[in-house]
Amino acid sequence: MSSQPRRNQSKFILGGAAAWGLLLVGCVMVDRTLVAPPQVAGANFVGSKKCAECHEEVTSKFHDATHAKLFAPGGNAKEIGCESCHGPGSVHVKAGGGAGTIVNPGASPETCFQCHLDKRGEFNLPNAHPVLAGKMSCSDCHSPHTGDAVAEGGTNLDGMNSTCLKCHASQGGPYVFEHEASREGCVTCHNPHGSLNAKMLKARNANLCLQCHFQQQISAGVILIGGRDHASFLPRGTCWSAGCHEAVHGSHVSSSLRF
Ligand code: HEC
Ligand code: HEC
Ligand code: HEC
Ligand code: HEC
Ligand code: HEC
Ligand code: HEC
Ligand code: HEC
């Protein structure tokens, strides 16, 4: 029901090509995707194997990470998985490690925006998680170092919901009357990156609910939703306001999710 095509368009652009000279990163999963990793003054790429010498605990789990598939094409091709987010590591390695010699993208989303440029726009929308304000980071919801970057994989919605429930426990129930919509994922109704609509909703009106609940006009002036005439209800406001289905995540008292 919640089919959102997301792999069929290139979301990446060629970032700061001039500054990057000829260094571009390709991804085995996406043809002709060109993106630019962050920069560290005076440093070259050394490859993820080098990082393993001192960061075993990170590299040992990295093999199945979404970003492990990134590489730099060309004659001196390097698998730059780690460095796609942390920038070229030669200076850091030579110094025997230490802060200030390598990019730490936990501190700012700018590193991520470099390749996921569309996300900057989404987080700039009027209703968004406070990532730009520095109160949250992309890695609160995305695992950079292991497995699918979208928690538990885009197909495992329980896993994806559990990401949200870490901070929003009350929307997860358990409820006496569960709204089955949440099984489809919080993201059927919310865009976690940002939205024009209040509460990061994907639609500001009944269309949000009509994704799943069929609306049927059987005769003039009669609009059936869920088998009940809604013609006089619809002008009153959204489905979840005006005392109708306010317990949109689930209810302890009302099977029709009234409160
Ligand atoms: C998708 C981007 C990305 C990739 C690829 C990546 N990292 Fe990270 N790394 C981060 C982020 C974001 C943080 C900030 C910590 C956090 O929020 O989890 C971080 C933090 C770290 C830290 C600091 C210690 C810590 O846990 O806070 C180390 C060390 C590190 N990464 C090493 C690596 C190594 C080694 C690799 C390759 C095997 C790698 N990273 C690949 C994004 C990435
Ligand atoms: C010679 C050992 C060594 C190698 C090789 C090495 N590191 Fe480090 N790295 C360290 C040490 C030591 C620290 C500081 C540890 C600490 O503060 O906990 C560190 C810290 C970091 C941090 C955190 C910096 C911060 O500002 O918080 C990141 C990110 C990181 N390394 C990534 C990498 C990546 C990516 C590679 C491979 C390109 C790499 N390291 C290779 C030793 C190394
Ligand atoms: C050097 C470029 C680059 C950087 C930097 C980068 N990414 Fe990515 N990222 C990619 C590419 C390429 C893909 C694979 C796209 C695909 O498979 O559709 C990807 C995939 C992802 C996905 C999964 C997309 C999906 O459809 O499953 C997420 C989530 C993600 N990145 C988040 C982040 C976060 C968070 C950061 C910063 C910590 C970051 N990325 C930094 C290039 C980058
Ligand atoms: C509040 C949690 C949350 C935060 C914070 C977050 N994301 Fe996401 N992101 C998600 C979820 C959930 C999905 C899966 C959406 C879906 O399948 O509809 C996703 C999907 C993605 C994707 C792949 C699909 C797409 O929309 O392109 C990318 C890339 C991505 N996020 C990057 C980022 C970056 C970069 C940041 C930080 C600037 C970030 N995200 C911050 C929850 C979050
Ligand atoms: C790391 C904690 C964290 C995670 C994980 C998280 N959120 Fe949030 N969420 C927040 C914070 C902080 C706010 C902003 C609250 C505020 O501004 O008062 C917020 C706000 C919201 C709001 C708007 C609430 C309002 O009253 O306007 C919605 C809706 C929301 N988050 C949904 C989600 C969804 C869906 C996910 C999973 C994809 C998610 N959140 C994951 C911390 C988190
Ligand atoms: C069927 C659509 C739908 C689904 C699925 C859904 N939400 Fe909501 N959510 C809404 C609506 C509508 C509102 C606005 C309620 C209002 O303004 O009274 C909302 C509001 C919120 C808020 C703001 C506080 C509140 O309760 O009003 C948070 C936080 C939130 N949702 C988190 C989540 C999380 C986490 C999930 C997944 C477990 C989720 N939502 C699933 C429709 C949905
Ligand atoms: C992802 C699909 C989906 C979305 C979106 C969705 N629902 Fe549902 N809803 C369901 C399913 C499945 C059921 C349980 C089967 C049924 O009763 O139709 C249900 C049940 C309900 C019920 C209980 C019906 C009864 O038995 O009395 C109400 C009320 C309801 N939804 C309201 C809403 C509202 C309001 C919205 C929009 C904020 C919404 N739904 C969005 C899938 C969805």
Tell whether the model's pLDDT for residue 64 goes beyond 50: yes
Distance CA 136, CA 109 (A): 9
Picking from 43-52, 70-79, 141-150, 242-251, which range would have the lowest pLDDT averaged per residue? 70-79
β-strand pairing of 70-71 with 25-27 = antiparallel
pLDDT of residue 157: 56
For residue 128, count other CB atoms closer than 10 A to its CB.
Answer: 18
Distance CA 139, CA 249 (A): 25
For 172-191, write each residue's pLDDT tens digit: 889 999 999 988 889 999 99
Query: What's this model's pTM, rounded to 2 decimal places?
Result: 0.91
Question: Do 244 and 233 form a contact (C-beta atoms < 8 A)?
Answer: yes
Take residue 141 and report the two structure tokens written for it.
Answer: 């919801």
Ligand 6 pocket: which of 166, 199, 244 to mutate (most atoms within 8 A of CB): 199
Q: Name the token pair of 183.
A: 């099984």
Q: What are phi and psi of 133, to 5 degrees?
A: -80, 0
d(CA 181, CA 197): 19
Mutation choice for ligand 4 from 11, 119, 148, CB with most ligand atoms inside 8 A? 119
Ligand 2 neighbour 97 (Cβ under 6 A): yes
Ligand 7 binding pocket (C-beta < 6 A) is 1-2, 179-181, 184, 188-189, 208-209, 211-213, 226, 239-240, 245, 248, 255-257
Mean pLDDT within 36-63 = 89
